[in-house]
Amino acid sequence: MSQRDTLVHLFAGGCGGTVGAILTCPLEVLKTRLQSSTITLYVSGVHLSAVNGASVARVAPPGPLHCLKLILEKEGPRSLFRGLGPNLVGVAPSRAIYFAVYSTSKEKLNGVLEPDSKQVHIASAGMAGFTATTATNPIWLVKTRLQLDTRKRGEQRMSALECVRRVYQADGLRGFYRGMSASYAGISETVIHFVIYESIKRRILEYKAPQSLDEEENRSKYASDFAGMMLAAATSKTCATSITYPHEVIRTRLREEGTKYKSFFQTLRTVPREEGYRALYRGLTTHLVRQIPNTAITMCTYEVVVYLMKG
C-alpha cells in the first residue's frame, strides 16, 4: 500500500467516525447512563417491601425513555451532548488509526495468508483494535466521566480539563487507562463485526461484478453499492454487539469516579452477584439503536470518501 493510500484511509476513517459521533451523541450519553451503577439515582420514587419484617428499598433502574425524560427535566437538553468535545477529539484519530492499521495489516497479511480470507480479516481487525484502543483510552475515559456528570440545571458543569485534573490527582497516569482491559475484551466485537462485514461486502461485489452497465446505469449501481455497504455494516454490527455486549457495561463501571470496581473479572463477578445477570445487558437496546446507524454512517462515509479520493 502506498503512502497516499494510507493517508486516504486515515482521512476517510476520521471523517466517518466524526460524522457518526455527532449524529448519535445523545444516544451515546443515554447508553452510558444506563450502563452506570449510579443509574438508580435517577429514580424518583422508591418502592418499599417487607422482607422478614424489615423495610428494604428495591429500586428498579429506569428504562431508556424514562432516563431520557429525567435527563431533560433535571439537566436540560445540553446534557445529551455531554462528552461530545472529547468524543470529537478522539473519534477522528481513533477511527483513522483503526482503518489505517486495518488496511495496512490486511495488505501485508494477504501476501502471507490466503488473500482476503477470514484469517486475514480477523488478524487485521484484532491488530487495528488493539492499536486504536491503546492510543486513545485516556480520551474515552474523560468522555465517560463527563457523560456521567449529573449536575442539575444552573450548576457549573465539569469541564474536560477539570476532569483530567481530578483523574490525575486521584490515580495518577494509571487512572487514564482504567477500563482498558474491558476495551481489549471488546476487540472480539470488532473482529466479529469486520469478518461478517467483509463477507457480506464481498458477496455484494461478486453479485454485481458480472453485470455490464452503461454510464448512467453505473451511477445507479454506485448508489446501490453504498446502500448495500450500509446494510452490511448495520447487520454485522448488530450480530457482533449482541454477542459481546457485557464488556461495554464492565468498561463503564471501571471508568466511574471513585468506583468500587477494580478489574475486568472482579467487575464481571460483582455486577451479576449484586444486580443479577440482566445488569450486564443494561442499555443494550439503546446501544443497538445508536450503534447501528452510527456504524452504518461511519462505514458508508469511509467507503464514500475512499471512493472519491481514489477517483
Second-level CATH architecture of 3-44+58-310: Alpha/alpha barrel (1.50)
Q: How far is CA 184 from CA 167, 190, 209, in A?
A: 21, 10, 37
pLDDT at site 210? 61
Do residues 237 and 192 lie in contact, with contact meaning Cβ atoms separated by under 8 Å? no
What is the spatial distance between Cα 311 and Cα 296, in angstroms, rounded to a whole number? 22
pLDDT at site 163? 93
pTM of the model: 0.74
- Delimit the domains of the chain by residue range: 3-44+58-310
pLDDT at site 53? 40
What is the spatial distance between Cα 136 and Cα 92, in angstroms, rounded to a whole number? 10
pLDDT at site 196? 85
Instruction: Identify the segments of the chain with pLDDT beneath 70.
Output: 1-2, 40-61, 154, 208-226, 311
Query: Which residue bears the cell 437496546?
Result: 285
Q: Is 82 exposed, middle or buried (0-12, 13-18, 19+ CB in 10 A)?
A: buried
pLDDT at site 100? 84
Q: For 216-250, how does the pLDDT look when each residue is reduced to its tens digit (9 = 90+)?
A: 555 555 566 667 777 887 788 888 888 899 999 99
For residue 148, give the nearest of 60, 85, 83, 62 by alpha carbon: 83
pLDDT at site 60? 62
For residue 32, give the nearest of 93, 88, 72, 80 by alpha carbon: 80
pLDDT at site 204? 78
